[in-house]
Amino acid sequence: MKRRNFLQVLAIGAAAAGPSLLISNSVRAQQERAAEKAAQKTFSADVVIAGGGIGGCAAALSALRKNLRVIMTEETDWIGGQITQQGVPPDEHRWIESLGCTRAYREFRTAIRDYYRQYYPLTETARNRSNLNPGDGGVSKLCHEPRVALAVLQNFFAPFLSTRQLVLLLEHKAFAAEVTGDKVRALQVRSLRSGNEISLEAPYYIDATELGDLLPLTKTEFVTGAESQKQTGELHAPEKSAPENQQSFTVCFAMDHVSGEDHTIEKPSEYDFWKDFAPKLHPAWPGKLLSLTYSNPQNLEPRTMGFDPEHESSGNLWTYRRLANKSNFRPGTYRGDISLVNWPQNDYLPGPLIGVSEAEAAKHIQRAKQLSLSLFYWLQTEVPRADGKQGYPGLRLRGDILGSEDGLAKYPYIREARRIKAVFTVLEQHIGSGARAKFTGKNEKKVLAENFPDSVGIGSYNIDLHPSTGGDNYIDVPSLPFQIPLGALLPQRMENLIPASKNIGTTHITNGCYRLHPVEWNIGESAGLLIAYALQKKIPPRAVRENKTRLAEFQNEIRAQGVETDWPKGQF
Protein backbone atom coordinates (compact mmCIF):
# COMPACT_ATOMS: atom_id res chain seq x y z
CA MET A 1 0.00 0.00 0.00
CA LYS A 2 1.38 3.40 -0.94
CA ARG A 3 1.95 5.42 2.23
CA ARG A 4 -0.15 8.59 2.39
CA ASN A 5 1.03 11.57 4.35
CA PHE A 6 -1.07 13.01 7.16
CA LEU A 7 -2.93 15.70 5.19
CA GLN A 8 -3.60 13.40 2.25
CA VAL A 9 -5.18 10.88 4.56
CA LEU A 10 -7.37 13.50 6.15
CA ALA A 11 -8.76 14.46 2.77
CA ILE A 12 -10.04 10.95 2.19
CA GLY A 13 -13.39 11.16 4.02
CA ALA A 14 -15.16 8.15 5.52
CA ALA A 15 -13.14 4.98 5.91
CA ALA A 16 -14.17 1.83 4.06
CA ALA A 17 -15.31 -1.17 6.08
CA GLY A 18 -12.76 -3.89 6.61
CA PRO A 19 -12.58 -7.18 8.49
CA SER A 20 -11.16 -7.51 11.97
CA LEU A 21 -7.36 -7.70 12.08
CA LEU A 22 -5.67 -10.60 13.85
CA ILE A 23 -2.04 -10.86 14.87
CA SER A 24 -0.40 -14.10 13.69
CA ASN A 25 3.06 -15.39 12.90
CA SER A 26 1.95 -17.69 10.09
CA VAL A 27 2.69 -16.78 6.47
CA ARG A 28 -0.95 -17.11 5.53
CA ALA A 29 -2.04 -14.79 8.32
CA GLN A 30 0.61 -12.25 7.26
CA GLN A 31 -0.69 -12.36 3.70
CA GLU A 32 -4.24 -11.89 4.89
CA ARG A 33 -3.10 -9.02 7.10
CA ALA A 34 -1.46 -7.28 4.13
CA ALA A 35 -4.60 -7.67 2.02
CA GLU A 36 -6.81 -6.35 4.78
CA LYS A 37 -4.56 -3.36 5.40
CA ALA A 38 -4.54 -2.52 1.72
CA ALA A 39 -8.33 -2.27 1.84
CA GLN A 40 -8.30 -0.21 5.01
CA LYS A 41 -7.62 3.50 5.40
CA THR A 42 -4.60 4.40 7.49
CA PHE A 43 -4.23 7.61 9.47
CA SER A 44 -0.87 8.59 10.94
CA ALA A 45 0.27 11.13 13.51
CA ASP A 46 2.91 11.70 16.19
CA VAL A 47 0.70 10.26 18.91
CA VAL A 48 -2.58 8.33 18.95
CA ILE A 49 -4.75 8.81 22.04
CA ALA A 50 -7.51 6.28 22.70
CA GLY A 51 -10.15 7.86 24.92
CA GLY A 52 -11.33 11.45 25.03
CA GLY A 53 -11.93 11.68 28.77
CA ILE A 54 -10.23 14.12 31.12
CA GLY A 55 -6.86 12.39 30.86
CA GLY A 56 -7.13 12.04 27.09
CA CYS A 57 -8.08 15.69 26.60
CA ALA A 58 -5.25 16.88 28.84
CA ALA A 59 -2.76 14.63 27.02
CA ALA A 60 -3.96 15.91 23.65
CA LEU A 61 -3.75 19.57 24.68
CA SER A 62 -0.23 19.25 26.07
CA ALA A 63 0.96 17.37 22.97
CA LEU A 64 -0.72 19.84 20.60
CA ARG A 65 0.83 22.79 22.40
CA LYS A 66 4.19 21.10 21.79
CA ASN A 67 3.36 21.08 18.05
CA LEU A 68 2.72 17.34 17.81
CA ARG A 69 0.14 15.93 15.42
CA VAL A 70 -2.52 14.09 17.40
CA ILE A 71 -5.30 11.62 16.66
CA MET A 72 -7.77 11.15 19.50
CA THR A 73 -10.63 8.67 19.52
CA GLU A 74 -13.67 8.76 21.76
CA GLU A 75 -16.28 6.06 22.25
CA THR A 76 -19.18 8.50 22.77
CA ASP A 77 -20.13 11.71 20.95
CA TRP A 78 -18.85 13.89 23.84
CA ILE A 79 -15.29 14.44 24.94
CA GLY A 80 -14.60 15.09 28.62
CA GLY A 81 -15.18 11.73 30.30
CA GLN A 82 -16.30 11.88 33.90
CA ILE A 83 -16.84 15.65 33.81
CA THR A 84 -19.18 15.61 30.77
CA GLN A 85 -20.42 12.28 29.40
CA GLN A 86 -20.55 10.76 32.88
CA GLY A 87 -22.09 13.90 34.36
CA VAL A 88 -19.96 14.23 37.50
CA PRO A 89 -18.85 17.70 38.64
CA PRO A 90 -15.22 17.78 39.78
CA ASP A 91 -14.17 16.10 43.00
CA GLU A 92 -11.28 18.25 44.22
CA HIS A 93 -9.17 18.91 47.30
CA ARG A 94 -9.68 21.86 49.64
CA TRP A 95 -6.74 23.94 48.34
CA ILE A 96 -7.78 23.76 44.68
CA GLU A 97 -8.57 27.47 44.33
CA SER A 98 -4.96 28.46 44.98
CA LEU A 99 -2.64 25.48 44.44
CA GLY A 100 -2.44 21.76 43.85
CA CYS A 101 -3.18 21.40 40.13
CA THR A 102 -1.60 22.19 36.79
CA ARG A 103 -1.88 25.62 35.17
CA ALA A 104 -3.84 24.13 32.28
CA TYR A 105 -6.39 22.59 34.66
CA ARG A 106 -6.73 25.95 36.39
CA GLU A 107 -7.30 27.58 33.00
CA PHE A 108 -10.03 25.01 32.38
CA ARG A 109 -11.75 25.84 35.69
CA THR A 110 -11.47 29.58 35.00
CA ALA A 111 -12.89 29.10 31.51
CA ILE A 112 -15.95 27.34 32.95
CA ARG A 113 -16.67 30.31 35.20
CA ASP A 114 -16.03 32.76 32.36
CA TYR A 115 -18.44 30.82 30.15
CA TYR A 116 -21.19 31.26 32.71
CA ARG A 117 -20.42 34.96 33.04
CA GLN A 118 -20.50 35.45 29.27
CA TYR A 119 -23.50 33.34 28.28
CA TYR A 120 -25.71 32.75 31.35
CA PRO A 121 -28.09 35.28 32.96
CA LEU A 122 -26.39 35.32 36.34
CA THR A 123 -27.48 37.62 39.12
CA GLU A 124 -25.05 40.46 39.77
CA THR A 125 -24.12 38.89 43.09
CA ALA A 126 -23.22 35.58 41.44
CA ARG A 127 -21.46 37.28 38.51
CA ASN A 128 -19.20 39.26 40.85
CA ARG A 129 -18.27 36.26 42.94
CA SER A 130 -14.63 35.46 42.12
CA ASN A 131 -15.04 31.79 42.98
CA LEU A 132 -18.40 31.37 41.27
CA ASN A 133 -20.01 27.99 41.97
CA PRO A 134 -23.06 27.82 39.65
CA GLY A 135 -24.66 24.88 41.45
CA ASP A 136 -23.40 25.60 44.96
CA GLY A 137 -23.14 21.84 45.38
CA GLY A 138 -21.70 20.65 48.64
CA VAL A 139 -19.26 18.23 47.02
CA SER A 140 -17.26 20.76 45.01
CA LYS A 141 -16.25 24.40 44.77
CA LEU A 142 -17.23 24.28 41.10
CA CYS A 143 -20.47 22.37 40.41
CA HIS A 144 -21.58 23.06 36.85
CA GLU A 145 -23.56 21.63 33.96
CA PRO A 146 -21.71 19.04 31.85
CA ARG A 147 -22.47 20.93 28.63
CA VAL A 148 -20.45 23.90 29.87
CA ALA A 149 -17.35 21.75 30.41
CA LEU A 150 -17.92 20.25 26.95
CA ALA A 151 -18.15 23.71 25.36
CA VAL A 152 -14.95 24.83 27.07
CA LEU A 153 -13.02 21.75 25.91
CA GLN A 154 -14.33 22.18 22.38
CA ASN A 155 -13.15 25.79 22.43
CA PHE A 156 -9.70 24.66 23.55
CA PHE A 157 -9.46 22.23 20.63
CA ALA A 158 -11.09 24.40 17.94
CA PRO A 159 -7.92 25.91 16.41
CA PHE A 160 -6.16 22.54 16.32
CA LEU A 161 -9.12 20.94 14.58
CA SER A 162 -9.28 23.76 12.04
CA THR A 163 -5.61 23.37 11.17
CA ARG A 164 -5.85 19.58 11.13
CA GLN A 165 -3.18 19.25 13.76
CA LEU A 166 -5.80 17.28 15.66
CA VAL A 167 -8.03 14.58 14.23
CA LEU A 168 -10.91 13.79 16.58
CA LEU A 169 -12.72 10.53 15.87
CA LEU A 170 -15.92 10.60 17.92
CA GLU A 171 -17.96 7.41 18.33
CA HIS A 172 -14.94 5.28 17.47
CA LYS A 173 -13.66 2.40 19.59
CA ALA A 174 -10.42 0.42 19.38
CA PHE A 175 -10.95 -3.29 18.70
CA ALA A 176 -7.51 -4.63 17.70
CA ALA A 177 -3.84 -3.78 17.67
CA GLU A 178 -0.76 -4.72 15.70
CA VAL A 179 2.15 -5.38 18.04
CA THR A 180 5.72 -6.35 17.28
CA GLY A 181 7.78 -7.32 20.28
CA ASP A 182 7.51 -4.54 22.85
CA LYS A 183 6.04 -1.93 20.51
CA VAL A 184 2.58 -1.12 19.23
CA ARG A 185 2.70 -0.69 15.46
CA ALA A 186 -0.92 0.16 14.72
CA LEU A 187 -4.27 0.47 16.39
CA GLN A 188 -7.49 -0.51 14.65
CA VAL A 189 -10.63 1.45 15.47
CA ARG A 190 -14.20 1.01 14.33
CA SER A 191 -16.91 3.62 13.89
CA LEU A 192 -19.80 2.75 16.17
CA ARG A 193 -22.15 4.41 13.67
CA SER A 194 -21.07 3.12 10.29
CA GLY A 195 -18.97 0.10 11.18
CA ASN A 196 -16.12 1.49 9.06
CA GLU A 197 -12.63 0.63 10.24
CA ILE A 198 -9.48 2.75 10.32
CA SER A 199 -5.88 1.85 11.12
CA LEU A 200 -4.04 4.42 13.24
CA GLU A 201 -0.25 4.57 13.21
CA ALA A 202 2.11 6.63 15.35
CA PRO A 203 5.42 6.37 17.19
CA TYR A 204 3.49 6.58 20.48
CA TYR A 205 0.10 5.53 21.83
CA ILE A 206 -1.74 6.74 24.92
CA ASP A 207 -4.38 4.65 26.66
CA ALA A 208 -6.82 7.18 28.14
CA THR A 209 -9.84 4.88 27.96
CA GLU A 210 -12.05 4.61 31.03
CA LEU A 211 -11.35 0.91 31.55
CA GLY A 212 -7.80 0.58 30.18
CA ASP A 213 -9.03 -1.01 26.95
CA LEU A 214 -5.70 -0.88 25.12
CA LEU A 215 -3.89 -2.98 27.70
CA PRO A 216 -5.38 -6.37 26.69
CA LEU A 217 -5.46 -5.37 23.01
CA THR A 218 -1.73 -4.62 23.01
CA LYS A 219 -0.84 -7.47 25.38
CA THR A 220 0.48 -4.96 27.91
CA GLU A 221 0.72 -6.58 31.33
CA PHE A 222 -1.93 -5.35 33.76
CA VAL A 223 -3.72 -6.12 37.01
CA THR A 224 -7.35 -5.80 38.02
CA GLY A 225 -9.25 -5.70 41.26
CA ALA A 226 -7.74 -6.09 44.71
CA GLU A 227 -4.17 -7.16 45.41
CA SER A 228 -3.44 -9.13 48.57
CA GLN A 229 -1.55 -7.92 51.63
CA LYS A 230 1.18 -10.41 50.77
CA GLN A 231 1.59 -8.75 47.37
CA THR A 232 1.57 -5.12 48.51
CA GLY A 233 1.94 -5.01 52.29
CA GLU A 234 -0.89 -2.47 52.39
CA LEU A 235 -2.79 -1.85 55.60
CA HIS A 236 -6.24 -2.09 53.97
CA ALA A 237 -5.52 -4.74 51.34
CA PRO A 238 -7.41 -8.05 51.73
CA GLU A 239 -5.74 -11.24 52.84
CA LYS A 240 -6.27 -12.82 49.43
CA SER A 241 -6.08 -11.18 46.01
CA ALA A 242 -9.37 -10.85 44.15
CA PRO A 243 -9.09 -9.63 40.53
CA GLU A 244 -12.88 -9.59 40.19
CA ASN A 245 -13.32 -7.41 43.30
CA GLN A 246 -13.66 -3.92 41.80
CA GLN A 247 -15.24 -0.68 42.89
CA SER A 248 -18.86 -0.20 41.93
CA PHE A 249 -19.68 1.98 38.94
CA THR A 250 -22.64 4.36 38.67
CA VAL A 251 -24.97 5.46 35.91
CA CYS A 252 -25.65 9.05 36.93
CA PHE A 253 -28.68 11.16 36.07
CA ALA A 254 -29.74 14.79 36.34
CA MET A 255 -33.11 15.98 37.60
CA ASP A 256 -34.96 19.15 38.50
CA HIS A 257 -38.18 19.73 40.41
CA VAL A 258 -41.27 21.64 39.28
CA SER A 259 -43.61 22.07 42.21
CA GLY A 260 -47.27 21.31 41.51
CA GLU A 261 -46.63 19.23 38.40
CA ASP A 262 -46.61 15.46 37.93
CA HIS A 263 -43.73 14.04 35.89
CA THR A 264 -43.85 10.50 37.28
CA ILE A 265 -42.19 8.09 34.86
CA GLU A 266 -43.43 4.62 33.99
CA LYS A 267 -42.48 2.14 36.67
CA PRO A 268 -39.07 0.67 35.69
CA SER A 269 -39.14 -3.02 34.80
CA GLU A 270 -36.70 -3.95 37.60
CA TYR A 271 -38.19 -1.63 40.22
CA ASP A 272 -39.53 -4.40 42.44
CA PHE A 273 -36.09 -6.00 42.55
CA TRP A 274 -34.19 -2.82 43.37
CA LYS A 275 -36.78 -1.59 45.86
CA ASP A 276 -36.07 -4.63 48.03
CA PHE A 277 -32.37 -4.99 47.23
CA ALA A 278 -30.23 -5.07 50.38
CA PRO A 279 -26.46 -5.08 49.71
CA LYS A 280 -24.59 -8.01 51.23
CA LEU A 281 -21.39 -6.28 52.28
CA HIS A 282 -18.76 -6.57 54.97
CA PRO A 283 -18.99 -4.67 57.26
CA ALA A 284 -22.75 -4.74 56.90
CA TRP A 285 -24.82 -2.20 54.99
CA PRO A 286 -27.58 -0.83 57.27
CA GLY A 287 -30.55 -1.96 55.18
CA LYS A 288 -32.00 -1.54 51.71
CA LEU A 289 -30.13 0.33 48.99
CA LEU A 290 -33.14 2.52 48.12
CA SER A 291 -33.22 4.31 51.42
CA LEU A 292 -32.00 7.61 52.85
CA THR A 293 -29.92 5.59 55.33
CA TYR A 294 -26.57 4.24 54.20
CA SER A 295 -23.09 3.54 55.57
CA ASN A 296 -21.06 6.56 56.63
CA PRO A 297 -17.91 6.11 54.48
CA GLN A 298 -15.58 7.18 57.30
CA ASN A 299 -16.80 4.92 60.11
CA LEU A 300 -19.38 2.64 58.42
CA GLU A 301 -22.00 3.56 61.00
CA PRO A 302 -25.55 4.11 59.66
CA ARG A 303 -26.06 7.66 58.41
CA THR A 304 -29.42 9.11 57.41
CA MET A 305 -29.60 12.02 55.01
CA GLY A 306 -32.54 14.20 54.12
CA PHE A 307 -34.03 14.80 50.70
CA ASP A 308 -36.02 17.93 49.92
CA PRO A 309 -35.90 19.60 46.48
CA GLU A 310 -38.04 22.51 47.70
CA HIS A 311 -36.08 23.79 50.70
CA GLU A 312 -32.43 24.42 51.56
CA SER A 313 -31.32 22.34 54.54
CA SER A 314 -28.21 20.73 55.95
CA GLY A 315 -27.66 17.09 55.10
CA ASN A 316 -29.88 17.39 52.03
CA LEU A 317 -28.97 15.02 49.20
CA TRP A 318 -30.64 17.42 46.78
CA THR A 319 -27.83 19.94 47.17
CA TYR A 320 -25.01 17.39 47.40
CA ARG A 321 -24.12 17.48 43.68
CA ARG A 322 -26.40 20.30 42.58
CA LEU A 323 -25.41 21.58 39.13
CA ALA A 324 -27.57 24.72 39.01
CA ASN A 325 -28.77 26.74 41.97
CA LYS A 326 -31.61 28.79 40.51
CA SER A 327 -30.91 31.61 42.98
CA ASN A 328 -27.61 32.27 41.17
CA PHE A 329 -29.55 33.18 38.03
CA ARG A 330 -32.06 35.86 37.19
CA PRO A 331 -35.62 35.06 38.30
CA GLY A 332 -37.38 32.81 35.81
CA THR A 333 -34.21 31.36 34.26
CA TYR A 334 -34.73 27.94 35.84
CA ARG A 335 -38.03 26.47 36.98
CA GLY A 336 -36.10 24.66 39.69
CA ASP A 337 -32.60 23.69 40.72
CA ILE A 338 -30.84 20.95 38.77
CA SER A 339 -29.22 18.16 40.78
CA LEU A 340 -26.87 15.40 39.62
CA VAL A 341 -27.44 12.01 41.23
CA ASN A 342 -24.24 10.16 41.94
CA TRP A 343 -25.14 8.80 45.36
CA PRO A 344 -24.52 5.62 47.37
CA GLN A 345 -28.07 4.64 46.40
CA ASN A 346 -27.22 4.14 42.72
CA ASP A 347 -23.79 2.54 43.01
CA TYR A 348 -24.06 -0.74 41.09
CA LEU A 349 -22.79 -3.77 43.04
CA PRO A 350 -23.88 -7.05 41.34
CA GLY A 351 -20.93 -7.31 38.94
CA PRO A 352 -17.86 -5.66 37.37
CA LEU A 353 -17.22 -4.37 33.85
CA ILE A 354 -13.69 -5.84 33.66
CA GLY A 355 -12.88 -9.53 33.46
CA VAL A 356 -16.27 -10.49 32.05
CA SER A 357 -17.53 -10.94 28.51
CA GLU A 358 -18.80 -7.98 26.49
CA ALA A 359 -22.30 -9.40 26.77
CA GLU A 360 -22.01 -9.67 30.56
CA ALA A 361 -20.64 -6.13 30.85
CA ALA A 362 -23.48 -4.80 28.69
CA LYS A 363 -25.95 -6.61 30.92
CA HIS A 364 -24.47 -4.96 34.02
CA ILE A 365 -24.69 -1.53 32.40
CA GLN A 366 -28.35 -2.09 31.50
CA ARG A 367 -29.12 -3.23 35.03
CA ALA A 368 -27.26 -0.22 36.43
CA LYS A 369 -29.53 1.97 34.32
CA GLN A 370 -32.51 0.17 35.79
CA LEU A 371 -31.13 0.85 39.26
CA SER A 372 -30.84 4.58 38.56
CA LEU A 373 -34.31 4.75 37.01
CA SER A 374 -35.65 2.82 39.99
CA LEU A 375 -34.03 5.28 42.38
CA PHE A 376 -35.58 8.15 40.46
CA TYR A 377 -39.02 6.50 40.49
CA TRP A 378 -38.64 5.85 44.23
CA LEU A 379 -37.86 9.54 44.79
CA GLN A 380 -40.96 10.46 42.78
CA THR A 381 -43.28 8.06 44.57
CA GLU A 382 -42.00 6.73 47.88
CA VAL A 383 -39.17 8.74 49.44
CA PRO A 384 -40.19 9.91 52.95
CA ARG A 385 -40.94 13.62 53.22
CA ALA A 386 -40.64 15.95 56.21
CA ASP A 387 -44.38 16.70 55.96
CA GLY A 388 -45.24 13.01 56.39
CA LYS A 389 -46.10 12.42 52.75
CA GLN A 390 -44.23 10.28 50.25
CA GLY A 391 -42.55 11.14 46.97
CA TYR A 392 -42.03 14.21 44.82
CA PRO A 393 -43.92 13.71 41.53
CA GLY A 394 -42.64 17.10 40.34
CA LEU A 395 -39.17 15.64 39.82
CA ARG A 396 -38.16 15.56 36.14
CA LEU A 397 -35.41 13.59 34.46
CA ARG A 398 -33.15 16.03 32.60
CA GLY A 399 -31.57 13.96 29.89
CA ASP A 400 -31.14 17.17 27.88
CA ILE A 401 -28.57 18.30 30.45
CA LEU A 402 -26.62 15.10 29.78
CA GLY A 403 -27.23 14.93 26.04
CA SER A 404 -29.20 11.68 26.22
CA GLU A 405 -32.64 10.39 25.28
CA ASP A 406 -33.16 8.08 28.25
CA GLY A 407 -32.48 10.75 30.87
CA LEU A 408 -29.29 9.04 32.05
CA ALA A 409 -25.61 9.83 31.51
CA LYS A 410 -24.09 8.75 28.21
CA TYR A 411 -21.52 6.56 29.93
CA PRO A 412 -21.16 4.95 33.37
CA TYR A 413 -19.11 6.78 35.97
CA ILE A 414 -16.04 4.54 36.25
CA ARG A 415 -13.98 4.42 39.44
CA GLU A 416 -11.57 1.59 38.68
CA ALA A 417 -9.86 0.37 35.51
CA ARG A 418 -7.26 -2.13 34.46
CA ARG A 419 -3.91 -0.93 35.81
CA ILE A 420 -0.53 -1.38 34.15
CA LYS A 421 2.18 -3.43 35.76
CA ALA A 422 4.36 -0.38 36.15
CA VAL A 423 8.03 0.35 36.63
CA PHE A 424 6.91 1.78 39.98
CA THR A 425 3.62 1.16 41.79
CA VAL A 426 2.21 3.57 44.37
CA LEU A 427 1.28 1.75 47.59
CA GLU A 428 -0.82 2.77 50.57
CA GLN A 429 2.31 3.04 52.71
CA HIS A 430 3.52 5.78 50.36
CA ILE A 431 0.52 8.07 50.74
CA GLY A 432 -2.01 6.80 53.33
CA SER A 433 -1.87 8.66 56.65
CA GLY A 434 -2.22 5.65 58.94
CA ALA A 435 -0.23 3.27 56.77
CA ARG A 436 2.51 5.86 56.28
CA ALA A 437 2.82 6.47 60.02
CA LYS A 438 3.02 2.73 60.67
CA PHE A 439 5.55 2.24 57.88
CA THR A 440 7.84 5.10 58.99
CA GLY A 441 7.27 4.88 62.74
CA LYS A 442 6.43 8.60 62.88
CA ASN A 443 3.51 10.40 64.50
CA GLU A 444 0.51 10.40 62.15
CA LYS A 445 0.08 14.17 62.62
CA LYS A 446 3.64 14.85 61.46
CA VAL A 447 4.11 12.30 58.73
CA LEU A 448 4.37 13.35 55.06
CA ALA A 449 3.77 11.34 51.91
CA GLU A 450 6.70 9.61 50.25
CA ASN A 451 8.87 12.02 48.28
CA PHE A 452 9.13 10.74 44.71
CA PRO A 453 12.29 12.10 42.98
CA ASP A 454 10.64 11.44 39.60
CA SER A 455 7.48 13.43 40.41
CA VAL A 456 5.49 14.68 37.42
CA GLY A 457 2.56 16.14 39.33
CA ILE A 458 0.67 16.34 42.59
CA GLY A 459 -2.77 15.60 43.98
CA SER A 460 -4.76 15.20 47.14
CA TYR A 461 -7.89 13.28 48.10
CA ASN A 462 -8.91 10.69 50.63
CA ILE A 463 -8.37 7.06 49.73
CA ASP A 464 -12.01 6.73 48.70
CA LEU A 465 -13.15 3.28 47.63
CA HIS A 466 -16.86 2.78 47.13
CA PRO A 467 -18.56 -0.54 47.96
CA SER A 468 -17.24 -3.22 45.67
CA THR A 469 -18.41 -6.09 43.53
CA GLY A 470 -16.58 -8.45 45.89
CA GLY A 471 -18.64 -7.44 48.92
CA ASP A 472 -16.46 -4.77 50.57
CA ASN A 473 -18.20 -1.80 52.15
CA TYR A 474 -16.55 1.62 51.88
CA ILE A 475 -12.81 1.90 52.40
CA ASP A 476 -12.44 5.61 53.05
CA VAL A 477 -9.30 6.57 54.97
CA PRO A 478 -7.20 9.75 55.12
CA SER A 479 -4.33 10.21 52.73
CA LEU A 480 -1.55 12.78 52.55
CA PRO A 481 -1.01 15.36 49.80
CA PHE A 482 0.87 13.22 47.29
CA GLN A 483 2.98 13.28 44.15
CA ILE A 484 2.53 11.43 40.86
CA PRO A 485 5.70 9.43 40.13
CA LEU A 486 6.83 9.12 36.53
CA GLY A 487 7.50 5.43 37.15
CA ALA A 488 3.76 4.86 37.58
CA LEU A 489 3.24 6.02 33.96
CA LEU A 490 5.74 3.54 32.53
CA PRO A 491 4.78 -0.06 31.72
CA GLN A 492 7.40 -2.59 32.74
CA ARG A 493 7.84 -3.89 29.18
CA MET A 494 5.97 -1.96 26.49
CA GLU A 495 8.05 0.87 25.07
CA ASN A 496 5.59 3.15 23.30
CA LEU A 497 2.32 2.84 25.21
CA ILE A 498 1.63 5.31 28.05
CA PRO A 499 -1.41 5.26 30.37
CA ALA A 500 -3.25 8.55 31.00
CA SER A 501 -6.27 7.80 33.13
CA LYS A 502 -7.13 5.45 36.00
CA ASN A 503 -4.83 2.81 34.49
CA ILE A 504 -1.48 3.94 35.91
CA GLY A 505 0.67 2.05 38.40
CA THR A 506 -1.51 2.24 41.48
CA THR A 507 -3.13 -0.52 43.51
CA HIS A 508 -6.78 -1.20 44.19
CA ILE A 509 -6.29 0.86 47.37
CA THR A 510 -4.28 3.83 46.06
CA ASN A 511 -6.42 4.11 42.95
CA GLY A 512 -8.96 5.47 45.42
CA CYS A 513 -7.18 8.84 45.56
CA TYR A 514 -5.47 8.94 42.13
CA ARG A 515 -8.76 8.60 40.20
CA LEU A 516 -10.19 12.11 40.74
CA HIS A 517 -10.63 14.86 38.17
CA PRO A 518 -7.57 17.12 38.70
CA VAL A 519 -5.25 14.14 39.22
CA GLU A 520 -6.42 12.46 36.02
CA TRP A 521 -5.90 15.74 34.18
CA ASN A 522 -2.36 15.99 35.57
CA ILE A 523 -1.62 12.39 34.60
CA GLY A 524 -2.81 13.01 31.05
CA GLU A 525 -0.98 16.31 30.71
CA SER A 526 2.30 14.79 31.92
CA ALA A 527 1.84 11.81 29.59
CA GLY A 528 1.50 14.13 26.59
CA LEU A 529 4.54 16.17 27.66
CA LEU A 530 6.54 12.97 28.22
CA ILE A 531 5.91 11.81 24.67
CA ALA A 532 6.78 15.25 23.26
CA TYR A 533 10.07 15.18 25.19
CA ALA A 534 10.86 11.62 24.11
CA LEU A 535 10.27 12.50 20.46
CA GLN A 536 12.37 15.65 20.74
CA LYS A 537 15.30 13.85 22.34
CA LYS A 538 14.81 10.67 20.30
CA ILE A 539 14.86 8.48 23.39
CA PRO A 540 12.31 6.05 24.83
CA PRO A 541 10.20 7.36 27.76
CA ARG A 542 11.80 4.92 30.19
CA ALA A 543 15.20 6.50 29.48
CA VAL A 544 13.92 9.81 30.82
CA ARG A 545 13.50 8.34 34.27
CA GLU A 546 16.67 6.25 34.19
CA ASN A 547 18.98 9.21 33.58
CA LYS A 548 19.11 11.81 36.37
CA THR A 549 20.16 14.61 34.02
CA ARG A 550 17.38 13.84 31.56
CA LEU A 551 14.85 13.51 34.37
CA ALA A 552 15.81 16.88 35.85
CA GLU A 553 15.60 18.49 32.42
CA PHE A 554 12.18 16.98 31.77
CA GLN A 555 10.88 18.05 35.16
CA ASN A 556 12.08 21.60 34.52
CA GLU A 557 10.26 21.56 31.19
CA ILE A 558 6.95 20.44 32.64
CA ARG A 559 7.25 22.95 35.47
CA ALA A 560 7.69 25.64 32.82
CA GLN A 561 4.41 24.40 31.33
CA GLY A 562 2.70 24.92 34.70
CA VAL A 563 2.84 21.40 36.14
CA GLU A 564 3.42 21.49 39.90
CA THR A 565 5.68 18.63 40.97
CA ASP A 566 5.97 19.40 44.70
CA TRP A 567 3.64 20.55 47.45
CA PRO A 568 4.80 23.74 49.20
CA LYS A 569 7.20 22.87 51.99
CA GLY A 570 6.04 23.54 55.52
CA GLN A 571 2.35 23.87 54.59
CA PHE A 572 1.28 20.38 55.60
Residue 452 lies in a domain: no
Say if residue 66 is in the same domain as residue 167.
Answer: yes
Domain boundary (380, 402, 424) is at 402
DSSP3 helix / strand / coil % (the chain, rounded to 5): 30, 20, 50
Say if residue 163 is in the same domain as residue 65.
Answer: yes
d(CA 547, CA 423): 14
* Contact present, 423 and 490 (Cβ < 8 Å): yes
Say if residue 398 is in the same domain as residue 253.
Answer: yes
Dihedral, CA atoms, 282, 283, 286, 287, nearest 10 degrees?
A: 10
Residue 19 lies in a domain: no
Residue 103 lies in a domain: yes
Domain membership of residue 213 as a residue range: 41-127+144-222+485-563
Q: What is the pLDDT of residue 263?
A: 98
Residue 170 lies in a domain: yes
Three-state SS for 217?
helix
Say if residue 274 is in the same domain as residue 201.
Answer: no
Say if residue 169 is in the same domain as residue 304.
Answer: no
Tens-digit pLDDT profile for the chain (572 aa)?
A: 334 443 333 333 333 333 333 334 455 555 555 555 555 699 999 999 999 999 999 999 999 999 999 999 999 999 999 999 999 999 999 999 999 999 999 999 999 999 999 999 999 999 999 999 999 999 999 999 999 999 999 999 999 999 999 999 999 999 999 999 999 999 999 999 999 999 999 999 999 999 999 999 999 999 999 999 999 999 999 999 999 999 999 999 999 999 999 999 999 999 999 999 999 999 999 999 999 999 999 999 999 999 999 998 889 999 999 999 999 999 999 999 999 999 999 999 999 999 999 999 999 999 999 999 999 999 999 999 999 999 999 999 999 999 999 999 999 999 999 999 999 999 999 999 999 999 999 988 889 999 999 999 999 999 999 999 999 999 999 999 999 999 999 999 999 999 999 999 999 999 999 999 999 999 999 999 999 999 999 999 999 999 999 999 999 999 999 999 999 987 66
Say if residue 340 is in the same domain as residue 200.
Answer: no
Return the number of other C-beta atoms located less than 10 Å from residue 279's C-beta. Answer: 20
Residue 364 lies in a domain: yes
Say if residue 148 is in the same domain as residue 262.
Answer: no
Say if residue 182 is in the same domain as residue 327.
Answer: no
Total number of domains in the chain: 2
Within its chain, how far is the Cα of 393 from the centroid? 32
Query: What DSSP state is assigned to residue 88?
Result: P
Q: What is the pLDDT of residue 40?
A: 65
Q: What is the pLDDT of residue 489?
A: 98
Residue 345 lies in a domain: yes
Say if residue 150 is in the same domain as residue 294.
Answer: no
Say if residue 212 is in the same domain as residue 254.
Answer: no
Residue 558 lies in a domain: yes
Domain boundary (368, 383, 402) is at 402
Residue 508 carries which side chain, given as an amino acid letter? H
d(CA 40, CA 36): 6
Q: What is the pLDDT of residue 572?
A: 67
Q: What is the pLDDT of residue 4?
A: 42
Return the number of other C-beta atoms located less than 10 Å from residue 390's C-beta. Answer: 12
* Residues composing the chain: 572
Q: What is the pLDDT of residue 444?
A: 85
Nearest CA-CA partner of 271 in 378, 368, 408: 378
* Contact present, 328 and 312 (Cβ < 8 Å): no
Say if residue 209 is in the same domain as residue 285.
Answer: no
Say if residue 175 is in the same domain as residue 291.
Answer: no
Residue 189 carries which side chain, given as an amino acid letter? V
Residue 301 lies in a domain: yes
Please enumerate in sequence order all residues whose Cβ is within 8 A of that of 28, keeping only pairs 6 or more positions apart, or say none: none
Domain boundary (379, 402, 425) is at 402
